[in-house]
């Protein structure tokens, strides 16, 4: 067997797919438990923790691949690549989910938002409540939802990559200046 070298693209693809499928697994579990519309706050913490682990592990693999050296730009590129791939995987699942599995997703989500708005702001007039619901309708739909998933994934990936890259950064200049 031939010894194949691991490339940065393979690392981004592997960790991006792993993170994307982990996100799908969380979404399927929420759906199975009937918590799709009102998940517990711990789900967000758990999802973020999985994202941090996947991105930081990918960046660490790149550092190992480079003989212990890592620039901030390599860390950002790797983290954003992982986040982009996982976001695209989750986006495809989400489109399948809202189209075939739960076609009434956006209508039900608006109902949940209406209920929460009425609980949080009991003094809202009918006009204010209607305006809030109208804004909710404009911000829902498969295209807006897809954009939010992708932008959110990339934003979180950027923040995690930036922090991880700043912590793990080690370049030739740092060694020669000592």
pLDDT at 1: 46
**φ, ψ (nearest 5 deg) of residue 112:** -65, -40
pLDDT at 86: 98
CA distance 128 to 150: 31
pLDDT at 174: 60
Longest Cα–Cα distance in the chain = 72
pLDDT at 129: 82
pLDDT at 105: 95
Domain boundaries, the chain: 8-101+143-170
Task: Output the tens digit of pLDDT for each of the chain's 178 residues.
Answer: 455 788 999 999 999 999 999 999 999 999 999 999 999 999 999 999 999 999 999 999 999 999 999 999 999 999 999 999 999 999 999 999 999 999 999 999 999 988 988 888 888 888 888 888 888 888 888 999 999 999 999 999 999 999 999 999 988 766 555 5
Q: How many CB atoms within 10 Å of residue 13?
A: 15
pLDDT at 117: 84
């Amino acid at each position: 067997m031939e010894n194949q070298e691991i490339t940065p693209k393979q690392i981004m693809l592997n960790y991006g797919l792993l993170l994307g499928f982990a996100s799908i697994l969380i979404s399927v579990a929420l759906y199975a438990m009937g918590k799709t519309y009102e998940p517990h706050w711990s789900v967000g913490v758990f999802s973020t923790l999985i994202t941090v682990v996947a991105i930081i592990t990918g960046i660490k693999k790149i550092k190992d691949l480079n003989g212990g050296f890592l620039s901030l730009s390599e860390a950002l590129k790797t983290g954003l690549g992982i986040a982009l791939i996982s976001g695209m995987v989750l986006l495809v699942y989400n489109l399948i989910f809202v189209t075939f599995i739960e076609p009434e997703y956006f209508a039900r989500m608006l109902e949940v938002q209406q209920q929460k708005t009425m609980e949080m702001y009991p003094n809202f007039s009918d006009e204010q409540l209607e305006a809030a619901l109208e804004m909710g309708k404009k911000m829902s739909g498969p295209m807006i939802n897809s954009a939010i998933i992708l932008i959110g994934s990339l934003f979180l990936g950027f923040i995690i990559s930036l922090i991880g890259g700043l912590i793990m950064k080690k370049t030739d200049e740092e060694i020669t200046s000592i």
